[in-house]
Homo-oligomer: A and B are copies of this chain.
Amino acid sequence: MKKSLKLLLLAASVALLASPASAKTIRWRMALSWPSTLTPLASPPMEVAKLVKEMSKGKFIIRVEGAEKTKSALGVLDMVKSGSYQMGHTGSYYYIGKDPNTVWFTTIPWGMTTAEQYAWFYYGNGMKYMKKVYDKFGVYSYPGGNTGVQMGGWFRKEIKTVDDLKGLKMRIPGFAGKVMAKLGVNVVNIPGGELYTSLDRGTIDALEWVGPAMDIKMGFYKVAPYYYTGWHEPASEMSFFVNQKAFNKLPKKYQVMLITAMKAASADMYIENFAKSVDAWQKMIKEYPGIKVKTFPIPVLKAMKKATDEIMQEYASKNPLFKEIWTDYQSYLKKARTWTMMSEYYYLKASKEVGAGE
C-alpha cells in the first residue's frame, strides 16, 4: 500500500473511533430494596433505566436488580458505597443505624407533606443536608419518589382513649414504632408474609403498612375493619443512590439524562401511588363496606405528638448535626405549613362545605 493510502485509512479509522456512534456502551447495575415487580416502589428505577436507554440510544444501560436477586434489601447503601452496584433505589431511613440523620430524607412523624418536603429539599436546606450526610459514604443521593401521606394502620378494634393503646400488639417499624412503644404499645416485628395470618388470628391487634395502593395486595381490610388516618409518615420519599466515582466518570450528557430521568420518574411515582390508592380504596369499600376510616381521638394524637417530640429531643441531644437539621426543618415546616393551610387545606375544607367533589 502506498504511504498516502495508509495515512488515509488511518484517518478514516480514527474518525470512526472518535465518533460517538462507536463509543463503548456504558453498563451499570442498580440494586433495589424491594422486589423489582413491587409497584409503585419499583416503578422509578424501572422508568429511569428505560428512559436513559432510550435517550442514549442504547449506549447507557442500567440493569435493575430487585431484592429477589440481590437478597439484601437493606444492603443497598453498602453495595452502592462499595461500587459493586453503581446505583440503588431504597429508603434513606433504613440506614438510621449508620447515621440517624438519614431519616430527614424520607419522612418523620408529624413532619412535612410531600410539597413542603420537596420545597425544603430544593429551596430550603434539604438537599444541602442530604449531600452532607451521604458524602461520607461516597454516594450522591437524590429524591426517588414519594408515597404521600401513609395511613396510620389497620386495627381490629377501635381506639377510643390513650389507654386502649396499652398492651396493644402492633407491627409498626421505625420511628413510629418508638413513638407507639412510648405510649405502651407492644411493638412486634413480624415478616411481611406472616402479617395477614397474624392479624386474622389475633396474634397481633394492629399493623401499619403503607396506604390503599399497597395495602390492598396484603388483604388486611378483610380482617381488621378500622383504617386509621396518618400521622407518622406524612411524605415518605424513596431515595436514589449513585456511587460518586461512577457518576463523575459519566460523560456530562449522560449525567444530565440520569438526573432528568430520576426527577421525572420520581414525580410519576407520586401520581401512580395516588391514583392506585384512589382505585384500591374504591375496590376495598365495595368488597367490605364495613371498613371504617377513623382519625385517632385528639388526646391520642396529642400523646403521639408529645412522644414524637421526646424522641426527637433524645436524638438531638446526642447528635449536633441532628439538632441543627431539626431546627432548620422545624423552621421551614412552620412557614411552609402556613402556606399549605392557606392554599390546599382551606380549599379542601371549603369544597367539603359546599359539597364539591361529592
Chain A positions 346 through 358: 1 when the CB is less than 8 Å from some CB of chain B, otherwise 0 = 1111111111111
On whether the beta carbons of B272 and A346 are closer than 8 Å, the reply is no
Q: A261-B260, A350-B301 are in contact. Are A275 and B19 (CB under 8 A)?
A: no
Beyond A8-B12, A148-B344, A277-B339, whether A123 also contacts B272 by CB under 8 A is: yes
Interface string of A36-74 (1 = CB under 8 A from B): 000000000000000100111100000000000000000
| Least distance between A24 CB and chain B CB atoms (Å) | 15
A58: min CB distance to chain B, Å:
9
Give the residue of B21, B275, B347 whose beta carbon is less than 8 angstroms from that of A231.
B347
A20 at the interface (CB under 8 A from B): yes
Question: Given A21-B19, A123-B275, A264-B263, are A115 and B8 neighbors across the interface (CB < 8 Å)?
Answer: no
- List the one stretch of A75-83, A94-102, A250-258 in contact with chain B: A250-258
User: How many chain A residues touch the partner (CB < 8 A)?
Assistant: 93
Which listed residue, B9, B110, B122, B343, touches A277 by the CB 8 Å rule?
B343
Known pairs A51-B256, A301-B350, A357-B334; A275 contacts B119 (CB<8 A): yes
Contact B344 A149 (CB under 8 A): yes
Residue of B nearest to A258 (CB): B55
Report whether A341 and B348 are in contact in the complex, using a CB–CB cutoff of 8 Å.
yes
Bound CA–CA A182/B270 (angstroms):
38
* A234 close to chain B: CB less than 8 A: yes
Q: Does A151 contact B (CB under 8 A)?
A: yes
Contacts of A22 in B (CB 8 A): 19
Q: Does A244 contact B (CB under 8 A)?
A: no
Q: Is A328 an interface residue when CB atoms closer than 8 A count as contact? A: no
Q: Given A295-B349, A348-B345, is A357 in contact with B271 using a C-beta cutoff of 8 Å?
A: no
Q: Quick one: which of B57, B263, B353 contacts A268, CB cutoff 8 A? A: B263
Question: Nearest CB to that of A112 among chain B residues?
Answer: B357
In the complex the two chains form, is B278's CB within 8 Å of A339's CB?
yes
Whether A354 contacts B123 by the Cβ 8 Å rule is no
A317–B356 CA distance with the chains assembled, in angstroms: 20
Assess the A354–B298 pair: CB atoms within 8 A: yes
A343 CB contact (under 8 Å) in B118, B148, B263, B266: B148
Q: What residues of chain B lie closer than 8 Å to A358, measured between beta carbons?
A: 334, 337
CA of A338 to CA of B118, assembled, Å: 24
Establish whether residues A345 and B343, one from each chain, have CB atoms under 8 Å apart when the complex forms. no
Point out the residues of chain B lying under 8 angstroms from A211, CB to CB.
343
CA–CA, A75 and B304, complex, Å: 55
User: Could you list 20 examples of A-B contacts with CB < 8 Å?
Assistant: A4-B5, A15-B16, A18-B21, A19-B20, A110-B356, A113-B347, A119-B271, A122-B272, A151-B343, A229-B343, A230-B347, A231-B350, A260-B264, A263-B264, A266-B267, A278-B338, A282-B335, A295-B346, A301-B354, A302-B353
Partner-B contacts on A (CB < 8 A)? 4-5, 8-9, 11-12, 15-16, 18-22, 51, 54-57, 110, 112-113, 115-116, 118-119, 122-124, 148-149, 151, 211-212, 229-231, 234, 252-253, 256-257, 260-261, 263-264, 266-268, 270-272, 274-279, 281-282, 293, 295-296, 298, 301-302, 304-305, 333-358
